Amino acid sequence: MKERILKAVVEEIQERGMRFTIDDVTHRLGISKKTIYEHFDSKEQIIKTIVEQILDEADQKTNDIIADDELSFIVKMKELMQVLPEYYQIYNRPVLDEMKRYYPDQWVQIETSLEEDWADIRLLIEEGIKTGEVVTGYSITVIMKVLIEAINTTLDQTFFYKNNITVREALSQTVDILLYGIIPDDKR
């Protein structure tokens, strides 16, 4: 039941943003408020649980990728930039803006986690520069700015939904463009 509640809350967040009510969740699930409060003390605890679950899952995936010595540099880069937790719908610009306003502690957790993820990617790029897997001559600061801004475009989930593109597809295509460019190999 706990997972059903969390999933329903994520669906409510996707539809209504952070202003959903517990009544919205009870209607979606066809259960009583009492049932929800048997599992969670408050709406804030539900949000906190979702954020912690998202961050734990993303951290685990990130750590697994970084630790996998079988993966090449390019595969690690691609996979790191495409880590999506189960409840990725939270990574939507309007939702994050509302979270910053109404649930600042959880927003800070997400912001801190994202900064740590970018630091991991920066270290990987620096390693790639040393080993010759990343071209030299570009400022690491500029590279990181371009990567961060490009990946942040996937936070505009509404655009992708309107254009029949899943967030996973958008993220994959964005990463491919960043890593391989738009010019075919035979035309370079």
Residues 6+ apart with CB under 8 A from 47: 9, 18, 99, 103, 106
Q: Which tens digit of pLDDT belongs to each residue from 88-134? A: 878 888 899 999 999 999 999 999 999 999 999 999 999 999 998 88
Q: Is the pLDDT of residue 13 over 90?
A: yes
| pLDDT for the residue numbered 153 | 86
Task: Check residue 188 and give its pLDDT.
Answer: 58
> Which tops the pLDDT comparison, 68 or 159?
68
Write the DSSP assignment of 37-79 as a string of letters: HHH-S-HHHHHHHHHHHHHHHHHHHHHHHHH-TTS-HHHHHHH
In order of their start, the domains of the chain are 2-187 (1.10.357.10)
Q: Confidence band (pLDDT; 50, 70, 90) for 2?
A: very high
**Encoded tokens for 151:** 């990946």
Output the six-digit token pair for 41.
């003390």
d(CA 107, CA 50): 12
